[in-house]
């Protein structure tokens, strides 16, 4: 049996077509190939101001650091800017979409240095909002790191020149 562990840039790529190369084989060959692994995913949390806010501001706290004030009717880009101004979220560490609040939720995807990580849930302080208001932050997708893709349970009878990966560009690589 042979186990191949892909590392570095190859570790986060799904090698869906991996097969032994039997060129020059001296006898009848049989192979079973199994791949395992995950490319991981970014955490996404959704900010939703529900119920008729008519003015005011709110703040977001992430991992103990609180943002500056954010207007009740902020766009996704306004929320993105407020989050990236925080000392524990750098430029490019979040990507916000959706909005504008309060009618449409803002989705916050954790990217950059926070990518593929199960991050703490943000909280909202809505004490300065006016009008009827309920606020919610919901985790839409929990962040998870990538795990290496492995070629395992590859067995064969006879002689072979090695294993090859045929990627989307039809490039053959012998490992």
Q: How far apart are CA 137 and CA 108, in angstroms?
A: 10
Q: What is the CA radius of gyration of the chain?
A: 24
Q: Which residue has the higher pLDDT, 102 or 156?
A: 102
pLDDT surpasses 70 at 14:
no
pLDDT for res 45: 94
In tens, the pLDDT along 73-95 reads 999 999 999 999 999 999 999 99
Mean pLDDT of 139-165: 57
Question: How many C-beta neighbours within 10 Å does residue 105 have?
Answer: 20
Which of 92 and 54 is assigned the larger pLDDT?
92
Joined tokens for residue 138: 């919901």
- What pLDDT sits at residue 83? 97
Handedness of CA 7, 10, 11, 17 (dihedral sign): negative
Give 165 or 73, the one with higher predicted confidence.
73
Range name among 23-32, 105-114, 150-159 with the lowest pLDDT average: 150-159
Element (H, E) at 81: helix 76-84
pLDDT of amino acid 160: 44
Q: What is the arithmetic mean of pLDDT over 111-122?
A: 92
Of 14-18, 105-109, 118-122, the poorest mean pLDDT is in 14-18
pLDDT for 119 equals 93
- pTM attached to this predicted model: 0.65
pLDDT at 3 over 90: no
Q: For 76-80, which contacts have Cβ atoms below 8 Å and span 24 or more sequence positions? A: 76/100, 76/106, 76/107, 79/47, 79/106, 79/108, 80/108
């Amino acid at each position: 049996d042979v186990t191949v562990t892909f590392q570095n840039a190859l570790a986060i790529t799904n090698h869906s077509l991996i097969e032994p190369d039997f060129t020059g084989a001296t006898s009848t060959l049989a192979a079973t190939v199994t791949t395992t692994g995950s490319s991981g995913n970014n955490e996404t949390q959704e900010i939703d101001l529900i119920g008729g806010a008519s003015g005011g501001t709110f703040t977001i706290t992430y991992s103990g650091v609180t943002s500056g004030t954010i207007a009740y009717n902020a766009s996704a880009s306004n929320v993105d800017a407020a989050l990236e101004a925080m000392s524990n979220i750098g430029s490019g560490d979040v990507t916000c979409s959706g909005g504008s609040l309060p009618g449409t939720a803002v989705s916050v995807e954790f990217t950059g240095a926070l990518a593929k990580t199960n991050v703490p849930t943000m909280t909202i302080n809505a004490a300065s909002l006016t009008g009827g208001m309920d606020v919610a932050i919901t985790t839409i997708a929990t962040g998870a790191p990538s795990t290496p893709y492995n070629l395992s349970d590859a067995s064969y009878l006879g002689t072979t020149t090695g294993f090859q990966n045929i990627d989307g560009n039809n490039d053959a690589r012998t490992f």
